[in-house]
Amino acid sequence: MGNLVEAFDLAGRAGRPALIPFVKGAEQRPVSYGDLGALAARFAGVLDRLGLAPGDRVVAKVEKSVAGLALYLATLQRGAVFVPLNTAYRPQEVEYFLRDTAARLVVCDPAERPVLQPMADGIGAAVLTLDADGKGSLAETAAAPQPAILPRREDDVAAILYTSGTTGKPKGAMLTHGNLRSNAEALRDLWRVTGNDVMLHALPIFHAHGLFVGCNVMLLAGARMLFLPKFDPAQMLDLLPRATVMMGIPTFYARLMSDPRLDHDRVAGMRLFTCGSAPLLAATHREWSARTGTAILERYGMTETGMNTSNPYDGERRPGSVGPALPGVLVRITRAETGEVLPAGEVGMIEVKGPNVFKGYWQLPERTAAEFRADGWFITGDLGFLSQDGYVQIVGRGKDLVITGGYNVYPKEVETEIDALEGVLESAVIGLPHADFGEAVTAIVVARAGTAPDERAIQTALRDRLAGFKLPKRVIFLAELPRNTMGKVQKAQLREAYRGLYSA
């Protein structure tokens, strides 16, 4: 089996409910696997009429909806490459992705078409629209349904997801049909997901967590999803009694615990809560267990690999640990400089190998080669250690990437915008522990002599320049940034100095 869509068996499960969507807080009629397949076939017909060939890139910057999920399936069905973008991105951010992928088709909200159309024209891409209600020119374009699923090889690229680092521009991670299928199969089996499960789905689907973990696993198992457009704590608590599975990020759990209605009875029918995309504080893990009588299952993954490890379904779910390697995935800890494999208990670089590991970075062969060892192991950039019984514990990141609310923030990009503001000499952006967001984007700023920029002014000035999740939650002013003898800013020192900022 090559094309991932075949594994979902939409036609064979035609009568089974796949999604129960919610729009503007109101529950809609159930969408069956057959309905979802029919909508995907209609969209595949549009792609076919536009002349998209296997391997062509489809960039989607659309709100979460049933139609948005169908667009993903249609793109894979026709052998094209799906490129989902965060809906918070500003136009100047989107232009980079369009040019880098040389997109053939851009699908966006109707309100954004006037801004994105000239960018698309510049690279010869078509533009179609799709709004949060599933309406727009994509849905309205007349084309014969195309139900055929084009054959794909395991190593054919299915999607490109952009990931940030600490230097340079965002990189496009090429994920193959085999990567996505193998990871979804491993998680389905490990977490014992079946067609009887109902997932409470409040994650975005432009992100690996919501799309490749949430949707792929549920569709592969023939399960149902309560499909919420976004996270709403009150609505989530109302729906928990109807669900059996919830996948979330630390923010979800922290906010749900702020409601006194959360108790053992509320989650009596739930068999699995998972958490990822950002570190879950051990205190949150323990408090959730005390309140609900259930233990959150924390796992570890990244854009380039999907999931690598998971605490067990049966067995100890250790607070602060992300569990052993998934079946079929290998994990080792090495000395970063030499690649020497370290014994259990020693902190080093986390490296992984397996069918889940991506094909490489889009049009960056040298960067791809630099991220792999000669023996094929992928260097994650995360630091951690293995326990004697194989549990992985992450202690930090070798890179300064900030993960806030499940989203990656590239510090240099934020620093560049801050440094351009009047009265700013230089800045350093770091992530600090935050009970709600996992990490909070925090800016350390040095003002120019004779000026006095303030926190509110800097935050306001950045709002039109950066997506909301990239905005610093606090701005701290220092006379100078700490540096080593080579002149490099010591971000670790800053993180240590201010690590309690959001817990005070």
* pLDDT, mean of residues 469-491: 83
* Each residue's pLDDT tens digit, 375-434: 999 999 988 899 999 999 987 666 677 889 988 787 878 888 998 899 998 899 999 999
What per-residue confidence (pLDDT) applies to 486?
42
* Each residue's pLDDT tens digit, 187-214: 999 999 999 999 999 999 999 999 999 9
* Each residue's pLDDT tens digit, 110-130: 999 999 999 999 999 999 999
| DSSP H helical ranges for 437-490 | 455-462
Q: Percent of the chain scored above 90 by pLDDT? A: 80
What per-residue confidence (pLDDT) applies to 397?
67
What per-residue confidence (pLDDT) applies to 1?
67
**CA 378 → CA 158, 350, 375, distances in Å?**
20, 9, 9
* Each residue's pLDDT tens digit, 428-451: 999 999 999 999 999 999 998 899
**CA 346 → CA 280, 323, 379, 392, 492, distances in Å?**
22, 16, 17, 11, 20
Burial 297-332 (b: 16+ CB within 10 A, else e): bbbbbbbbbbbbbbbeeeeebbbebbbbbbeebebb
Given a contact cutoff of 8 angstroms between Cβ atoms, the answer to whether 125 and 98 are in contact is yes
What per-residue confidence (pLDDT) applies to 394?
87
The conformation of residue 297, written as its DSSP 8-state character, comes to E
What's the whole-model pTM score? 0.85
The pair of structure tokens assigned to 67 is 């139609």
What span, in angstroms and rounded, lies between the C-alpha atoms of 483 and 495? 13
Average pLDDT, the chain: 93
What per-residue confidence (pLDDT) applies to 137?
97
Q: Is the pLDDT of residue 166 over 60?
A: no
